[in-house]
Amino acid sequence: MALQFYWYPKCGTCRKAKKWLDENEVTYETIHIVENPPAKEQLANIIEKSGQPIKKFFNTSGKKYRELGLKDKLKDASDDEKLDYLASDGMLIKRPLVVGEDQVTLGFKEEIFDQTWK
């Protein structure tokens, strides 16, 4: 299975990750995270596969996150409500999001990509 590479082309971190994947000849499917964000059920599966808490999936430095006041809203939100937020707008999801058969990475750190996707 080719990796699913959720990205936003204007994001510098996403472009660095894409360059790393290309230079390391990793096969992947590019998915524009804003035009085609993962659906709620898909996100639930990705989060479970990652072993990370759901809060790690939020792009906390994003404009949309601040506009919606999610820092305060998420404190009392259920996981189901958090999934609704994430599925509602790809700009709320930390990126790039790379999904493999049984591994997931969030953001781009070269050493993590070296360990996970080589």
Q: Assign residue 11 the CATH number of its domain.
A: 3.40.30.10
| Other beta carbons less than 10 A from residue 104's beta carbon | 20
Q: The domain containing residue 101 runs over which residues?
A: 3-117
Q: Could you tell me the pTM of the whole model? A: 0.94
pLDDT at residue 108, rounded to an integer: 98
How does pLDDT run across 64-108, given as a tens digit for each residue? 999 999 999 999 999 999 999 999 999 999 999 999 999 999 999
Q: How many domains does the chain have?
A: 1
Mean pLDDT, rounded, of the chain:
96
**Amino acid (one-letter) located at 10:** K
Mean pLDDT of 42-52: 97
Mean pLDDT of 9-29: 97
State the DSSP string of 6-33. EE-TT-HHHHHHHHHHHHTT--EEEEET
- pLDDT surpassing 70 at residue 1: no
Separation of alpha carbons 92 and 55, rounded Å: 11
